[in-house]
Amino acid sequence: MRINQRDTDHDEPGRVRYQERPFTGEVETTAPNGRMIALFTYQDGIRHGPQQTWYADGTRRSEGTVNSGTAVGEWREWHLNGQPAGLVTHTQDGLPLHRRRWDPNGNLIEDRQLNPSGPAPAGHRDGAAPTADVDQEAGMLFDLGALERAAGHVAAARRAFSRAAATGHPDTGPMALANLAVLEASAGRAAQARTAFERAIATGHPDHAPKSLFNYAIFQQRAGELTHARQLYEQAIAGGHPEHARKALFNLANLAARQGHLDESCGLFLRAMAPPFLGDTAQRAHRRLIEVDPGRLGEARQIYLRAMANEDPQTAERARALLQDLDPLHDIQSAGIHLGTRQFRLADIESAEWATGRRPAYSSGYLDVYTHDGAQHTVFIDLRDPYDSRGYDVLRQHLGPGRI
């Protein structure tokens, strides 16, 4: 007998039930488009027998066998491109013996024997085993939740995320709670959203807990709970997560500015600009800082100059780009500007004019540049080229309005 997982529920011990009785047979899980993404076999409500999952496009994802809730024998996994992803071999008691893993290109990245000593693992409370079986069920349920959410099926997404969280998987569980919280917030279920946010934070997961802390602060701020929002932002900042602490600094700075605390706001913006430069937080922070207090330009500039001098090459290059965005004239005054195939020091340029007497209609043409030594330099520039465009803009700022 085969039924759909939407028609099932769980009793207190965690067994799968159908029509109020522990189920024996196959349970399929389908994506919103109707494609089957999982087929699990049960006996008296406990996973027992063949287990299979697929990606949303129908590509095989995993297969293995469960004996009374415990993964046994070989469990295989595949990447979305069809390449093997993993192979774990278990004893008939469920003890993992050997594991191999491959990257999406087919390269072997792990091949090791596992310790076969110790007691056999007990079945998971909802019928899944705590090894490969839990991994696959948690991943399948989370993917289902994401698919249902994308299709606009909020109730179905809620069920899938809740079940993924209930697997207790150390990574997928917190991730499911974090997504459930955002789903409930978007659906206007404030009490349920707060509960899910707090549960996700309580997991202490190194990524999903800080992310939920940050999102919870946004939620409370939008709800008008500004004191609590401020506390949550401060907790996220204190946690030091490379991404979410920076975002919390930026949001708290904006909140402080709206509350009239301008000195606090500027100090927070400056902190949000510091490395590591993840996403666009630093750029947003320095632009907002100059809006709030243009007099802080020098302090902002120093943050990027220090990063250019003391950090690794990638960070230094990013700092240079950020400094260019913050203060285009600063770095160029000494390094010069590029126009076509030539480089000029701004201090050497006396004037410039288009060879035709006006800006070309097609954004490219010849520009005559006159230097203080009396020389004339004719260069071909294309204003659709980012280097030429930036050099031309800086030259116009240097010479003043109407001088080209």
Query: 98-122 pLDDT, tens per residue?
Result: 889 899 999 998 888 875 454 444 4
What was the pLDDT predicted at 335? 56
Q: How many residues does the chain have?
A: 404
Q: Residue 98: which domain range?
A: 2-140
Q: Which tokens in the block code for residue 318?
A: 């990013």
Give me the half-sphere count of Cα atoms (radius 13 Å) on the Cβ side of residue 360: 14
Q: Do 296 and 344 share a domain, yes or no?
A: no
- Overall number of domains in the chain: 3
Q: Do 373 and 277 share a domain, yes or no?
A: no
CATH number of the CATH domain containing 266:
1.25.40
Three-state DSSP class for 132? helix
Is 381 contained in some domain? Answer: yes
Is 342 contained in some domain? Answer: yes
Rounded CA-CA distance 48/56 in Å is 24
What was the pLDDT predicted at 354? 92
> pLDDT class for 56, splitting at 50, 70, 90?
confident
> pLDDT class for 311, splitting at 50, 70, 90?
low
Which of 298, 326, 354 is where one domain is finished? 326
Rounded CA-CA distance 258/224 in Å is 13
Q: Do 320 and 348 share a domain, yes or no?
A: no
pLDDT above 90 (res 347): no
Q: Do 32 and 57 share a domain, yes or no?
A: yes
pLDDT above 50 (res 124): no
Is 226 contained in some domain? Answer: no
Give me the residues paired with residue 25 across strands: 42
Q: Do 320 and 344 share a domain, yes or no?
A: no
Which of 293, 326, 359 is where one domain is finished? 326
CATH number of the CATH domain containing 56:
3.90.930
More confident residue, 374 or 331: 374
Q: Do 377 and 279 share a domain, yes or no?
A: no
Spatial CB neighbours of 77, under 8 Å, sequence gap ≥ 6: 61, 62, 84, 85, 86, 87, 132, 136
Q: Do 281 and 341 share a domain, yes or no?
A: no
Q: Do 376 and 267 share a domain, yes or no?
A: no
pLDDT above 60 (res 308): yes
What was the pLDDT predicted at 285? 97
What was the pLDDT predicted at 133? 61
Q: Do 347 and 391 share a domain, yes or no?
A: yes
Q: Do 109 and 60 share a domain, yes or no?
A: yes
Bridge pairing between strands 16-18 and 21-22:
antiparallel
Contact between 27 and 20 under an 8 Å Cβ cutoff? The reply is no
Q: Which tokens in the block code for residue 286?
A: 């320095």
Q: What is the mean pLDDT of residues 319-334?
A: 77
Contact between 102 and 109 under an 8 Å Cβ cutoff? The reply is yes
Is 369 contained in some domain? Answer: yes
Mean pLDDT score of the chain, rounded to an integer?
Answer: 87
Is 224 contained in some domain? Answer: no
Rounded CA-CA distance 283/326 in Å is 8
> pLDDT class for 66, splitting at 50, 70, 90?
confident
